[in-house]
Amino acid sequence: MGEERVTQPQSTTIWHGASLRDSFLTVVQNAGSQEMRNGLVEDFRTALDMLAQAAPASSISSIEAESRNDRADTVIVVDEDSASSTSSSSGTRQRLTPNVNANLLGRSITDAADNSDYSSTNDGTANTNLQRELSRLRALAQSVELQRFWVLLLNVLPFFVILFLKAVVEGFFSLLSLLTAFFLFHIANSTFMASRREKRYFHLLQSFTSSVFFFNFQSLFYGLDSIYIPMAFMSRLTNPITFFATLHVVLVVDFAVKIITVALKAGLTVLPTKFIGNRRLRRLFQWIEYTSQFYRYILPIPQWIRYLSYSFFSTPLTHFGDHFFAVLYVIYKACLIQVIGKRWFESTRRIFRLTSVGSKVSVGEEDSVQCTICFNDFCNPIKLSCGHIFCEECIGTWLDNEHTCPMCRATVAQEDNMWKNGNTTYSPQLC
């Protein structure tokens, strides 16, 4: 691949030395056999003229852009205007330079061509893959198996939609009661947690109002005994006993107990501080929560035992199987009840033992007038074993999730501090 280059105002002829070496030597030998009358310069001019006549036209004023086997040879640069203007005085000017620029130019052109080919190849491959995937999807859409599946789906789907709508209509009041119970519990718990410290009586009143509204709503649609009978460990279900009916009773009663728990905590918060201190109040919150969880754990046992022991057909095999499943359920509950029972027993044992995480601060012992947790003036300051002083309520709230000093990270307490902040669990007790 050759590239012509003409420079104005002087025209320069360039030959690649490696490609024209043999031709140049042959011309020089032929010129040496002729009569040389103008000296060495004239002899060289004669050799160049003969070389110009002997060299191919494509080799003159060209340079080979890509060199694969040869190294960087030399090029001969001849000033043709100077050679033709004078014969002896100035003569020609010859210069031998390494063929570095030519090789760099050739490499850049080759790299650009390779990159262009590579990009074209990638684009072609991507287009080919896309066309192949589209063809495969068209073939799949036209396959007999897929068409049969769509026909079957269109035949069955409307029937399932009808069944779903029928179930929604039949269980509309059940779903409505469950959603109402959940939202009323959420409102009661969130308003209580937001107003517990400041004792905002209006927000605390909302917690009581939510509980009253829930029981009135449940009694309006299902009667007064729909909640009180299951809470007394008795089953209110009538035949036939279904799974969803049992689950509905269990969930509604579970939310009812949690709403009552929030109302009890709100009632304790309304009491004046001189009747119940902060430490005792926090332990009462924990004890009420563990008592509620323990009660909610054993509350659905009669409902599920009656469902597992009920059968539509009275045969010896079904009678034995129903009692077998009920026994397995009782064993399952007995294995897990020890965990919750242990927490409730420990909380009951510590409720009257008001251990403190620190000691009372004497007059003049305070390093500053502000607590480093709330950045307010000290309220019932407590001095920890490490020497740092905090508000009693602030350090108690901190120890709900931590067991170290907030300043030096020294170990302060290693006891159970869960649910001391007055929060109530959201997780339902399904079984």
Domain count, the chain: 2
Instruction: Say what the pLDDT of residue 382 is.
Output: 82
DSSP E strands in 17-131: the ranges are 62-64, 74-79, 94-98
**404 contacts 410 by C-beta, under 8 angstroms:** yes
Instruction: Please tell me the distance from the alpha carbon of residue 163 to that of residue 315, in angstroms, as a whole number.
Output: 31
- CB–CB of 2/51 below 8 Å? no
Identify the residue whose tokens are 């009257």: 352
**Regions of the chain with pLDDT less than 50:** 1-19, 35-38, 57-105
Same domain, 230 and 337: yes
Q: In terms of C-beta density within 10 A (0-12 exposed, 13-18 middle, 19 or more buried), how is residue 301 classed?
A: middle
3-state secondary structure of 377: strand
pLDDT of res. 36: 45
Confirm whether 44 is domain-assigned. Answer: yes
Q: Which of the 8 DSSP states describes residue 268?
A: H
Question: Is the residue at 99 inside a domain?
Answer: yes
Residues 92 and 175 in one domain: no
What local confidence, expressed as pLDDT, does residue 293 receive? 93
Do residues 261 and 285 lie in contact, with contact meaning Cβ atoms separated by under 8 Å?
A: no
| Residue 424 main-chain phi, psi, to 5 deg | -120, 140
Q: Are residues 187 and 322 in the same domain?
A: yes
Of 92, 72, 56, nearest in space to 18 by CA: 72
Domain boundary among 319, 350, 381: 350
**424 found inside a domain:** no
Rounded CA separation 171/249 (Å) = 13
At residue 76, the pLDDT reads 43
Residue 383, beta-bridge partner list: 359, 389
- Clarify whether residues 225 and 329 are in a common domain: yes
- Domain encompassing residue 17: 2-108
What pLDDT score does 61 carry? 45
Which residues, listed in sequence order, are joined to residue 97 by a DSSP beta bridge?
75
Q: How far apart are CA 267 and CA 208, in angstroms?
A: 9
pLDDT at res. 290: 93
Q: Are residues 187 and 91 in the same domain?
A: no
What CA–CA distance (Å, rounded) separates 391 from 380? Answer: 6
End position of a domain, from candidates 315, 331, 350: 350
293 shares a domain with 215: yes
What sign does the CA torsion over 336, 340, 343, 349 have?
negative
CA distance 179 to 171: 12
Residues 304 and 204 in one domain: yes
CA distances from 179 to 182, 229, 240 (A): 5, 21, 25
Residue 20 CB contacts under 8 Å (≥ 6 apart), including other chains: 51, 55, 59
Lookup: tokens for 144: 């007999």
Predicted local confidence at residue 80, as pLDDT: 42
Q: Which of 370, 399, 369 is nearest to 384 (CA)?
A: 399
Do 50 and 182 lie in one domain? The reply is: no
Is 404 among the domain residues? no
Question: Strand 94-98's sheet: what is its strand order?
Answer: 12-16, 74-79, 94-98
281 sits in which H/E element? helix 278-298
